[in-house]
Every structure is written in structure tokens, then in C-alpha cells.
Amino acid sequence: MSDPRIAGASVTQFGKHPERTGRDLFAEAGLEALSEAGIDPDDAEALYYGNFMGELAEHQGHQGPLMAEAIGLDVPATRVEAACASAGTAVREAVKTIRNGEAEVVVVGGAERMTNIGTAAATDALAIAADDLYEVRAGMTFPGAYALMARSYFDQYGGSHEDLAHVAVKNHEHALVNEHAQIQKEITVEDAMEAPTIASPLGLYDSCPITDGAAAAVLTTESYAEEHDLDAPVAITGTGQGGDNLALQDRPHLAQTPAADKAADEAYGDAGVGPDDVDFAEVHDCFTIAEVFAIESLGFYERGEGISAARNGETTRDGDRPINLSGGLKAKGHPVGATGVAQLATVAWLLDGSHPRADAVPDSTVGVAHNAGGTVASTTVHVMEVRE
Amino acid sequence: MTESAQDGEYDAWLDSIESDDGYYLECSNGHGWLPPRRVCPRCHDQDLSAVDLPESGEIASHTTITVPTPQFEDDAPYVTAIADFGPVSVTGLVRDVDPDDVTIGDVVGIDVGERVTTGDRAVVFRPR
Ligand SMILES: [Zn+2]
């Protein structure tokens, strides 16, 4: 069993590109990843592609073969849907395919076109990741769901909206040098506190923006990389996935994310590492509170203690374990079906030193990507390590 | 939604709430769920029986939503809450109380009301 190497990766500029079709967004990322990898496209044997709302945003189903064609490949192509964890789940499928010996070169990616339908329709589309009968019909929106979780967290463990503001300030600051980021604007705690409320206690700056974008990566075996003299020092050494009840009302705790606990345990076990070995992580901060849940589930903090990490400067770029050096979903943007692969690319670039924030984690050897779907009813965790 | 077929056991459950005859499904180990369910997802028990829903529950968490989906455009701002009825929790709209006055632990009763924007039925909670 060979741990897949990341031979090349690419992300488009994340932002408002309402006129760009999903297939064009993915073509840009996919072709650049292939070229970056320096692999003969004829050697690619499969595509796993993440997308969440293609039917609603582009009236387009059956996107697997469409996207393979868009990057010039004639390979078995499978679309993976797990809400916001679609691309992380696609990565897991690609990892399994390579480990099983079924393919030597696999392309993995994702794309989402969202801003073309406007904020109201995008809010509507995002909401369908929740339980339609019991949540959406009771007015639950995506921010509303995380607001319920945030209020429950404050009630059970303490913390305040101001603690969350520090998460937003940190991630905005991290994104300042990321040219792929949707938002490159420094904000203050006051800005975040004074922003309009969208679903109390969460305000505008607690939420990631609505984003168009795509990401892609080319995975290959260690032996293929050696034979073809590829520059692919980063391996995916651990993969994990966990699930939970879809509806919040059916979970024993509103302020915990056991799906992520399970995914993290599995991925760490798979890689043979523990939370203390991890130098940095890209986590799914669709809302500021989601970063808090993520760093607790990843074992970096005890329950109830992740809330003060950003405020204490422990997760900033000069902190002990930087979180979301890309700017996270919060500032980088969240093209839903692409996010998990954009995280993978970011971790690889931070490990190989080519990311503009790599100076924050020099000599790092272990990075983690945490990608969560809906209210964390699906989560994937991937451990990546430098293997010269 | 008004023109489409009913949603089986879900609409039947709403009917039961509307006629003050609310219930939930309970497995042999006391785990509670709302229909339709054929198996307890926690313990795999398929012996689920209908049990009377307690008359009142407690707000477990709540949010005032100011940026709604188009289906709730005229409802906003509105309060969505999860209320704890013991073995089962239910999500609904909190009515008849100022959104700023809703607090975790508030005791509420359950009913069926209308959504302002679409007129569709929805679970509503009112202070008791
Ligand atoms: Zn049970």
C-alpha cells in the first residue's frame, strides 16, 4: 500500500465570477494542476469531483463526465456530494483508489458556481444540506444552524461573540498575502462586533462569503513519482471520515462535532501520528464558531477551550499551531464543492514551502486538512506529511 | 409545496400536533425520534412505538434569523429554536414573544402555525 503523493495542485482565484461557468472554472484549475504535476494526461486513470449545488445553480446534473471532458480526460469520472465536505470526500475516494492499487494517477477536484443566482437563492441552496422536513421548514438557514450551535456552546462552555471576532480578525489577516483569496482586507474586532447580525449571535463577519471557484490536485503513487522523476515531496498519510445525525435536533450535544472526532481519530491512526505532531491545520471555518469546533475535534484543545485560541494568539501565524494560514473559508472564500481540495492544496504548499504564508511554519512536517459538511454531519480529515 | 403530495408520516405527525395529540417514536432503550423512522439510529432497535409527546419542552438553543431564504422572506426576522421534550427534541418557530426575550431554558408548548411568506404549515413554540 502506497501513500499517495501530491504531484500538482491548483486553485482558481476565489471570488465573485458570476459569468464563469462551472466547467470553465474547473478547467482552469484542473489543467493547471496537471501541468504543475508534469504528468502525461494519458496516464490519468480516474477523476473524483466534488460539487454540491450544481443542479440549483447551473441546472446541471451528471457533472462527472462533463468535468473530465473539460480538462481533456477520457476517464471514469465520479461526482461526490457531501454538502460542503464534497471535495474532502472526493479526496478520500482518490486516496483509496490509489492505495488499492487500482490506479497510479488520479485527478481530484471540485468546483462551485454560486454568485450567479444571487444571495437569496444561494442561501436557499445552502440550506438544503439540512433536514428539509424538520429543519428547513422551521426556518433553519445555514448561518441559523451554526448560530444555534454557537449559542449552545456559549451556554455550556462560556465564551462570547467577541472571542469569535478574534477568529475572523485572524483569518482576514492571514489572507492578506493570498492572491487566491476572495477577501484581502484587514478587519478589527470592533468591525466584526459592529457588523449586521445575520442569525443571532452570528454577524456578517462570522460568516464566509458566497464564492465561485475551483480547485484540483493530481495524486500519484510513490513509485510513479520516482519513475517519472516528479517533484512530489508531500504524501497523504492518513484519511478519515465521520458521520452524524443530519438534523441538529437528533444529536445528544449541540456544541460538539462527533463526526469530526471520528474522522480525526481515524486519520491520525491511519497516519500513525497524534494531535501533538501536527504543525498546522486548514480547518472548515464556514462560520467562526466552526473553527472552534474543528480545533477541539482535532484534539488541539479540550472541549470548551478552543474558543479562546485565536484571542490568545495561539492559532495566529505567529502562534504555536497556526490555523487557516490561507485565510480559511472566512477570507479565502468557500466555493462549496471545491473547498476540500483547496485545503489539500494549501497544506501541500505550506509543507513544501511554496505558499506565501509558509514562512509561518518553517521546517514543518505534518499538516492537517479538516473539511465539514452541513452542520458537521459529514467530515473528512486528511493528514499530510513531507516525505523526501 | 401547497400543490404537491403530502409527506407521509411527517404530515401525519404535524396533524397529530395540530390536534393536541402529539407523539414521538421511542425504541426499547428509550431513544426518541420523529417520524418517519423504521429503526433507531443509535441502537438499531426496530421495535419503535408511538409515545405521547410531553405537553411542554425547554428551549435548548435559539437564533433570530434576519437573513432568510426566499421561502421565509416575509417571516423575517423570526426565531428558530430547538426545544427539548425529554427523549426527543424538536425544531420550530418561536411565536408570541419578543425575539430579544427568548432564553435557553424557557418553557414552551408546541403547536402548528402558518409561515407568513408561503402559508405552509410549520411547527411553532409558544411560551407556557
Ligand atoms: Zn435506540
Asked if residue A197 is part of any domain, the answer here is no
Asked if residue A153 is part of any domain, the answer here is no
> CA of B96, closest CA in chain A: separation in Å?
16
Top residue of B17, B34, B63, B121 to mutate, by most chain A CBs within 10 Å, is B63
Q: Are A384 and A350 in contact (CB under 8 A)?
A: no
Give pLDDT tens digits for A42-81. 999 999 999 999 999 999 999 999 999 999 999 999 999 9
Asked if residue A193 is part of any domain, the answer here is no
Asked if residue B3 is part of any domain, the answer here is no
Asked if residue B20 is part of any domain, the answer here is yes
Structure confidence at residue B26 as a pLDDT band (50, 70, 90): very high
Q: Which domain holds residue A25?
A: 5-117+209-386
Residues of chain A positioned with their CB less than 8 A from the CB of B122: 137-139
Taking CA atoms, what residue in B is nearest to A134? B91
Q: Are A308 and A300 in contact (CB under 8 A)?
A: no
Residue A213: pLDDT above 60?
yes
C-alpha cell at A381: 480529515
Give pLDDT tens digits for A90-127. 999 999 999 999 999 999 999 999 999 999 999 999 99
Q: Are A348 and A9 in contact (CB under 8 A)?
A: yes
Give percent of chain A with pLDDT exceeding 90: 99
Q: Are A18 and A121 in contact (CB under 8 A)?
A: no
CB contact (8 A) between residue B66 and residue A199: yes
Residue B2: pLDDT above 90?
no
Q: Are B126 and B7 in contact (CB under 8 A)?
A: no
Rounded to whole angstroms, the Cα distance separating A21 from A135 reads: 31
Structure confidence at residue B1 as a pLDDT band (50, 70, 90): very low
Asked if residue A241 is part of any domain, the answer here is yes
Please report the pLDDT score of residue A231 as a whole number.
95
The rounded Å distance from CA A144 to ligand 1 centre is 28
Asked if residue A250 is part of any domain, the answer here is yes
ipTM associated with this complex: 0.97
Top residue of A124, A126, A128, A141 to mutate, by most chain B CBs within 10 Å, is A141
Mean pLDDT, range A6-31, rounded to an integer: 98
Please report the pLDDT score of residue A2 as a whole number.
81
The rounded Å distance from CA B41 to ligand 1 centre is 7
Residue B33: pLDDT above 50?
yes
Q: Which domain holds residue B120?
A: 8-127
- If phi > 0 it is left, if psi is from -120 to 50 it is alpha, else beta; for residue A38 that is left
Asked if residue A55 is part of any domain, the answer here is yes
Residue B4: pLDDT above 90?
no
Beta bridge partner(s), residue A133: none
CB contact (8 A) between residue A245 and residue B92: no
Rounded to whole angstroms, the Cα distance separating A376 from B52 reads: 31
SS3 assignment, position A203: strand
Mean pLDDT, range A348-360, rounded to an integer: 98
Total number of domains constituting chain A: 1
Task: Examine the residue annotation and report whether A59 is marked as an active-site residue of this protein.
Answer: no
Give pLDDT tens digits for A298-338. 999 999 999 999 999 999 999 999 999 999 999 999 999 99
CA geometry: angle A207, A208, A211, nearest 5 deg = 145
Give percent of chain A with pLDDT exceeding 70: 99
Please report the pLDDT score of residue A1 as a whole number.
64
Asked if residue B1 is part of any domain, the answer here is no
Residue B89: pLDDT above 70?
yes
Task: Examine the residue annotation and report whether A84 is marked as an active-site residue of this protein.
Answer: yes
**B96 CB contacts (<8 Å, ≥6 apart)?**
B126, B127
Mean pLDDT, range A141-151, rounded to an integer: 97
Q: Are A262 and A276 in contact (CB under 8 A)?
A: no
Give the one of A133, A196, A199 whose C-beta lies nearest to B63's C-beta: A199
Which of residues 74 through 103 in chain B touch A, CB cutoff 8 A?
75, 78, 80-82, 88-93, 99
Asked if residue A270 is part of any domain, the answer here is yes
Q: Are B112 and B121 in contact (CB under 8 A)?
A: yes
Give pLDDT tens digits for A178-200. 999 999 999 999 999 999 999 99
Please report the pLDDT score of residue A245 as a whole number.
98
Asked if residue A361 is part of any domain, the answer here is yes
Please name the residue that has the C-alpha cell 440550506.
A127
Is B118 in the A-facing interface, judged by CB distances under 8 Å? Answer: no
Total number of domains constituting chain B: 1
> Considering chain A, what is the average pLDDT of its residues?
97
Task: Write the CATH number for A102.
Answer: 3.40.47.10
